[in-house]
């Protein structure tokens, strides 16, 4: 009885998240019909400066605009979030830009997690129930899901959409997923934003960008080592 109640509550939460996401897109389109077409043209160029200028053009609403864009990008897994995190550091400064991006990215990946779990987890559970090996992996993903998701989020430039899908189809709890995403997003977002910011601004002192690249390499190597050494067991 309790399990059915929890399952019903989870479905209600997921439906609310889906409704809010669709409503948000509709409201944005009604308020500014040119918003999405213009944004698409800007992103198609891959120009960080153009993206920053477009967000800055919203004036006092620039923070909210940027926040929603980052949430949207992480919720659907496209476009790459580092475009907006770099733009945020250009507009608001490195530290405020990183903090804004991390919070927005966490909200976005949690929305994606809820939607994907609602849509596909039930089907995945039916398949898992028929295969003992998959059942063991699924059980492991619930017990060790936090550390696995934390490592995945720490590594910069990994496709957010792929990680969202893996998390949603696994047995990791929403709480562990959210905390792991929030903590892991800080180093990965900071590295992406610093590299992008210093590349665009053409900083004379390369120390910061070199340090960011070294840290990125260490994090990627650490994730690879953990996967090879422990997860294969």
Does the pLDDT value for residue 2 go beyond 70?
Answer: no
Q: Are 160 and 81 spatial neighbours (Cβ–Cβ below 8 Å)?
A: yes
Does the pLDDT value for residue 79 go beyond 70?
Answer: yes
d(CA 128, CA 136): 9
Closest CA relative to residue 175, chosen from 183, 165, 166: 183
Does the pLDDT value for residue 141 go beyond 80?
Answer: no
Does the pLDDT value for residue 41 go beyond 60?
Answer: yes
Q: Indicate the domain borders of the chain.
A: 2-231
pTM exceeds 0.85 for this model: no
Per-residue confidence at 123, pLDDT binned at 50, 70, 90?
low
pLDDT of 213-233, one tens digit each?
777 777 667 666 666 666 565
Helix, strand, coil shares, percent, the chain, to 5 = 85, 0, 15
Q: What backbone phi and psi angles, to 5 degrees, belong to 58?
A: -85, 0
Q: Are 70 and 84 spatial neighbours (Cβ–Cβ below 8 Å)?
A: yes
Per-residue confidence at 130, pLDDT binned at 50, 70, 90?
low
Q: Is the dihedral of CA 163, 165, 167, 173 positive or negative?
A: positive
């Amino acid at each position: 009885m309790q399990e059915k109640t929890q399952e019903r509550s989870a479905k209600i939460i997921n439906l609310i998240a889906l409704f809010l996401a669709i409503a948000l897109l509709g409201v944005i389109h009604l308020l500014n019909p040119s918003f999405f077409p213009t944004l698409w043209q800007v992103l198609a160029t891959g120009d960080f400066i153009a993206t920053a200028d477009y967000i800055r053009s919203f004036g006092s609403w620039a923070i909210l605009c940027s926040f929603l864009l980052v949430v949207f990008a992480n919720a659907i897994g496209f476009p790459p979030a580092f475009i907006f995190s770099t733009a945020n550091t250009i507009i608001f400064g490195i530290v405020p830009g990183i903090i804004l991006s991390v919070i927005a990215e966490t909200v976005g990946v949690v929305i994606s997690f809820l939607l994907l779990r609602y849509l596909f987890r039930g089907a995945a559970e039916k398949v898992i129930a028929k295969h003992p090996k998959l059942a063991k992996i699924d059980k492991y993903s619930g017990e060790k899901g936090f550390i696995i998701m934390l490592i995945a989020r720490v590594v910069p430039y990994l496709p957010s959409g792929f990680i969202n899908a893996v998390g949603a189809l696994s047995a990791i709890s929403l709480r562990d997923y959210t905390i792991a995403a929030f903590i892991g997003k800080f180093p990965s977002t900071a590295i992406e934003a610093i590299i992008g910011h210093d590349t665009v601004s053409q900083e004379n002192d390369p120390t910061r960008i070199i340090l960011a690249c070294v840290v990125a390499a260490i994090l990627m190597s650490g994730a690879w080592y953990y996967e090879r050494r422990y997860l294969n067991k």
